[in-house]
Every structure is written in C-alpha cells, then in structure tokens.
C-alpha cells in the first residue's frame, strides 16, 4: 500500500467536501453574520469533543480579527459557567449530529435569556438546528476515515465554516493591518506589523553615485553595497537608481560601448520610495506590488536616509 497515495486520498476527500459547503449557504448565513455585526456583545462558542477543539480555534480566529469571542465548555457551562453569558451575547453551538446532550441542555437557558443562537451541524433537521435561530449546514457525505468513524471531513468542514464567518466579518468591518497588529504584538508577525522601516533599514555606507560615475565604478558600488543597487544623487536630490538588472540590460544592449557608459545613461528615474516612519508591512506591500526587492527610504523632505530590502523582514 502506497503511503503517499493514502495521504492524497485524504486530501481529495476533504477538499471535495469543502467544495460542497458552498451549496449549503443560504439566508441563515446572511442572518447569522448580520446578527453578529449588529451585536453589542461577544460571540461565545461551545462544543463537545472534537467539535469543541474546532470551536476553540474558531473562537481564537474571531477574537484576533476584530470579533470579541471566547470558548465555553458546555459541561462546565451547565455546572456554573452559564453566568459568563450575557443577554446581548451571540452563542454558536457546534454538534455534527445535532443531538449532543451537553449542547442541547444549554438551549433552555439561552432561550430564557433571549440570546441569539447559531447552530453548526451536519443535520438540518436535528434537535439543535430546529431549536436555534440560525442553522449553518456543515454536512459531509464522506469522512476521510476509512471506517467512517473518526471525525475528519466533518471537523474540517466545521473549521472552514468558522473561517468563512471570521473572514466575512473582517471584510464587512474593513479590518486592516493596523487592527491586526493591535491583537498580535508578539512574534515575527507582530513585529512586521508594528515595526517601522527606519528600525531595520540600511543607513550606513549607502551605495550612492553621481550621474557622471563610470559603469565600472557603479558595478563596484553595487557589489560593495550589497543592496543590489546604487542610488544616483545630485547634491542631496535622488535622480534615480541603477540595479544589477539595469547593468545586465545595458551590457546586452550596448555591448561595444558598455564601458563608456555613465550613470546618467542607464539610471531608472522616479524609483519607488517610502518614508522612514512607515510600517514594514507597507514596505512589503509596495515591493510585492512593484515586483522589486529593495526600496529607497526617505525622510519628510524626500532626502535619502536608507535602503530597506525584502530579506530584512525575515525576523
């Protein structure tokens, strides 16, 4: 039995079940999203077993993307933690069968407190779906488990539905990089989102030349500068840049007189720049959009103060 083929079969089964989820979207999804958007409370998620584990992840994703949320274990809720749920909170209850006893026991309290409830199950006619305000269908035809016992495709479908909720809310709220940074101050992602360009830019011994610099000296400056480019200056004004790519193109197009060329002959005018106080994430976006690996860093007077490169972001 081929090991990789087994893995590929799992991928194929689960990817097909995820594709099928879009067929189940209806007004329940729209109404659930609208309820969350208009709510002044939190989104509380509850589920038992594997559904609970997936619920914790969904709750974490919501909380980190602008929707206050926490996970509540149903058994603990029924033994005192129901006090954590306020009347203006929205509660998402997860049960693939829709008949999980610990989940169903929460419904009378939620109804008496008039909480808006959203269920996620694979059974549209289950006790859970019938007794909640909005039902999100996460049914799958086939689990990846060959015995059709271990939750595999069904838990993946649950997770993807949770992601669909979170991303829809993000886009409707116009959740931006700076908002994301607020909730992710630690780690490389957080540093990239809150660190400014001047913190990591190269600012000493910058590779610069004048418009009259010879091609030979330009090559040396690009090599010594280790930035893949040289900045062409006139007094304190940036006139353009010359990259190692510009050098190669100049060699191909001017083979016979290549070594007679000056900086002014091959420079690229109006290079991409970024202010030194901008965030690294903004520099990253500019480089990706422009398909470049380096940015000229300037101060408020557009004077050269440094160079930032793509690899500077790999914390």
pLDDT, position 310: 81
The pLDDT of 51-80, averaged and rounded, is 94
Superfamily of domain 197-313: CBS-domain (3.10.580.10)
The pLDDT of 106-113, averaged and rounded, is 96
Phi, psi of 63 (to 5 degrees): -60, -35
For the domain made up of 3-175, give the CATH fold: Rossmann fold (3.40.50)
pLDDT band for 78, please (50, 70, 90 cuts).
confident
Question: Would you say residue 293 has pLDDT above 70?
Answer: yes
Question: Would you say residue 267 has pLDDT above 80?
Answer: yes
User: Whole-angstrom Cα distance, residue 241 to residue 168?
Assistant: 42
pLDDT band for 152, please (50, 70, 90 cuts).
very high
The pLDDT of 115-140, averaged and rounded, is 97
The pLDDT of 265-273, averaged and rounded, is 92
The pLDDT of 122-142, averaged and rounded, is 96
Question: Would you say residue 160 has pLDDT above 60?
Answer: yes
Tens-digit pLDDT profile for residues 164-222: 999 999 999 988 766 676 666 666 666 667 788 998 899 998 999 999 999 999 999 99
Question: Would you say residue 84 has pLDDT above 70?
Answer: yes
pLDDT, position 313: 62
The mean pLDDT of the chain is: 91
First to last CA, the chain: 42
Tens-digit pLDDT profile for residues 2-42: 999 999 999 999 999 999 999 999 999 999 999 999 999 99
Phi, psi of 196 (to 5 degrees): -90, 160
Domain ranges of the chain: 3-175, 197-313
């Amino acid at each position: 039995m081929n090991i990789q083929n087994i893995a590929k079969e799992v991928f194929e089964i689960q990817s097909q079940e995820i594709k099928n989820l879009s067929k189940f979207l209806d007004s329940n999804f729209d109404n659930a999203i609208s309820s969350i958007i208009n709510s002044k409370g939190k989104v509380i998620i509850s589920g038992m077993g594997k559904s609970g584990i997936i619920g914790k992840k969904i709750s974490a994703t919501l909380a980190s993307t602008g929707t206050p949320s926490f996970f509540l274990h149903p058994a603990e809720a029924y033994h005192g933690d129901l006090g954590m749920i306020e009347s203006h909170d929205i509660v998402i209850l997860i049960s693939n069968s829709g008949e999980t006893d610990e989940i169903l026991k929460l419904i009378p309290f939620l109804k008496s407190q008039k909480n808006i409830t959203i269920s996620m199950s694979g059974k549209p006619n289950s006790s859970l779906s019938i007794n909640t305000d909005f039902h999100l269908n996460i049914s799958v035809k086939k689990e990846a488990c060959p015995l059709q016992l271990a939750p595999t495709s069904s838990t993946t479908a649950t997770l993807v539905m949770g992601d669909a909720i979170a991303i829809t809310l993000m886009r409707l709220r116009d959740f931006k990089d700076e908002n994301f940074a607020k909730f992710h101050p630690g780690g490389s992602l957080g540093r990239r989102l809150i660190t400014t360009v001047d913190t990591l830019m190269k600012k000493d011994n910058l590779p610069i030349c004048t418009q009259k610099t010879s091609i030979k000296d330009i090559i040396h400056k690009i090599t010594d500068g280790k930035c893949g480019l040289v900045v062409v200056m006139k007094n304190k004004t940036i006139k353009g840049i010359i990259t190692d790519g510009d050098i190669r193109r100049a060699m191909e197009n001017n083979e016979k007189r290549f070594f007679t060329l000056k900086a002014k002959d091959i420079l690229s005018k109006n290079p991409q720049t970024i202010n030194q106080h901008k965030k690294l994430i903004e520099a990253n976006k500019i480089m990706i959009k422009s398909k470049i690996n380096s940015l000229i860093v300037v101060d408020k007077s557009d004077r050269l103060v440094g160079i930032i490169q793509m690899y500077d972001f790999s914390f």
